Structure 1
Amino acid sequence: MSQDRPENNDPSPQEGSQPSPQHQEPPQYGVRLPQGQNPQQPSQPESNPSPYGQTPGQYPPPPPGAYGQAGPAQGGQGGYGRPSPYGQPGGYAQPAGGMQPPQAPGNPPKQIMISFGLIMAAGALTLLSGIMLLLTPVNELTRVLDEVYASDPMLQEQLAAAGMSTETIAQTAKTFGFVFIVIGVLLYALIAFFIRRGSNGARVTGTVLAAISLIGLFGGDILGVVTILLGIAGIVMAWTAPSSAYVRAVKEAKRWRR
């Protein structure tokens, strides 16, 4: 009696069919894998796409017009890179409380005007002296020179050795005297006008000339003495405190205009 074979209900694999992959668990730490088998990496979960088109973990790009980027509303300048209204590079604006240039002084003080008047008066008296000298006849000057030379024999000898007469000397002295008087009048006028404008150099020049003119106080005529005293008084008024403050203000205004 033949034994019945147990029926095999499993379908036999068909030819050409591929075996279904078997699920393999990831190896545990400390377990040795068979030779030729690589450990499987666990599948990473799908990440949600970034709304800015960037990978996760990165910051989105800054909006246009921020931190020096070109923006449409600023004409290529935006954020901290926008042009400054003061004409300087973007960033911090120039402080509004900067140093202001000093204002030009107005009318000169009373002391300066008094100095101007006194010096001009001295110049006017000097011009008067020149006119008087020009109107003096040569004969009158010759008579004065004859009296001077007659009182000193040594001067008579020098005059005779030079071959000159007192008339020639009188004419030459008259011409040169008038020229020097005209130069003196011009100096008085220039110093007076520049002092009124606040020039310190004019004050210094006038002081030097006033010191030299002190020599004329000894032995001079009354007109010459008055002229010298007027010039000295004008220079003194130019060195008073209000006058010096005016001169400093003019100097500062000129320095800022350069």
Structure 2
Amino acid sequence: MTESPNYPNYPESASAGRPPGAPARPSTVEGAFWAFIASTVIGLVGGLLIFGNRDAIADALRNSNRQNGGGLTETQIDQAVNIAMITAVVIAVIIAALYLLFAFKLRAGRNWARIVLTVLTALQLISLLVGQSTIVGYVGVVAAVVGVVLSFMAPSNAYFATAKTIR
């Protein structure tokens, strides 16, 4: 095993598929990347599970409508439920796209992406503790927390520091 001046203790074969001068990506960064990918997929699944709760959402809106004087017709309630569901799915897709962008930037050695993912994970954890969630929400947060922990381990820190000096 030869020593690389940019990132010690990684074999030369680890440089395959990387641009010249780029540091070898440690397994902790790869693990963090895949944990954030898993969290993103789980979040999308959770966003799509809203379609299974359409009747419960409609019932809650009907009850609220009755308590407030019944100003909405059945058609308006159905439209409101459809708009709420579509909005939730669109928001889930936008958040998933941003998570993917940040995960790929993290994998490329961008420290700012690691910080953004840490902040988003903290917000996700706070919202989980404050509000109601499903098992899917808990699993998604656990995956994101694993990603944050892996992204701040010693090999990851060295990778981000080395990647910054190369740029």
Provide the TM-score with structure 2 as the length reference: 0.75
Q: CA deviation at 1:140?
A: 5.1
Q: Is the 8 A contact 1:104 1:250 kept in 2?
A: no
The code of the aligned residue for 2:141 comes to I
Amino acid at match of 1:141: I
* Runs of 5+ unmatched residues, structure 2: 7-19
Equivalent residue number for residue 106 of structure 2: 195
What is the rounded CA distance, in whole Å, between the counterparts of 2:112 and 2:35 in structure 1? 18
The structure with more radius of gyration: 1
**How far, CA to CA, are the matches of 1:118 and 1:175 in structure 2?**
27
2:88 is aligned with what amino acid?
Answer: G
Contact 1:216/1:224 (<8 A) preserved: no
The residue matched to 1:130 in structure 2 has which SS? helix
Secondary structure of 2:109's match? coil
The one-letter amino acid paired with 1:229 is: V
Kindly state the Cα deviation for residue 169 of structure 1 after the two structures are TM-superposed.
2.0
Q: Percent identity?
A: 27
Task: Answer yes or no: is the 8 Å Cα contact 1:216–1:228 preserved in 2.
Answer: no
RMSD of the alignment, in Å?
2.5
C-alpha change, 1:106 and 1:212, in structure 2 (3 Å) is same
Q: Which amino acid aligns with 1:110?
A: S
CA gap 1:137/1:210 in 2 versus in 1, 3 angstroms: closer
**Aligned partner (choices 91, 105, 122) of residue 180 of structure 1:** 91
User: CA–CA distance in 2 between the matches of 1:200 and 1:188?
Assistant: 15
Residues 17-166 of structure 1: pairs in structure 2 closer than 5 A: 104-133=21-50, 135-136=51-52, 138-139=54-55, 141-147=57-63, 149=64, 153=67, 156-157=68-69, 160=71, 163=72, 165-166=76-77
Higher helix share: 2
Quick one: higher RCO (CA 8 Å, sep 6+), 1 or 2?
2
Residue number in structure 2 paired with 1:244: 157
Quote the residue 1:227 is aligned against. Answer: 140
Per the TM alignment, residue 137 of structure 1 is displaced from its structure 2 partner at its CA by 7.5
Contact 2:23 2:162 in 1 (8 A): no
Deviation at 1:192, TM superposition (A): 1.2
How many pairs are equivalent? 146
- Provide, for residues 123-154 of structure 1, a one-character-per-residue CA deviation record: whole Å limited to 9, x for no partner: 11112123333x4475553134335x27x93x
> How far did 1:220 drift?
0.7
Structure 1 Cα separation of the partners of residues 31 and 112 of structure 2: 18
Which residue in 1 is equivalent to 2:81?
A: 170
| Distance (Å, rounded) in 2 between the aligned partners of 1:197 and 1:231 | 18
What is the alpha-carbon distance in structure 2 between the residues aligned to residue 121 and residue 194 of structure 1? 16
CA contact (8 A) 1:210 1:228 kept: yes
Give the aligned residue type for 1:231.
A
Assess if the C-alpha contact under 8 Å between 1:115 and 1:238 holds in 2.
Answer: yes
Name 1:71's counterpart in structure 2. none
Correspondence for 1:214:
125
Equivalent position amino acid for 2:135 in 1: I
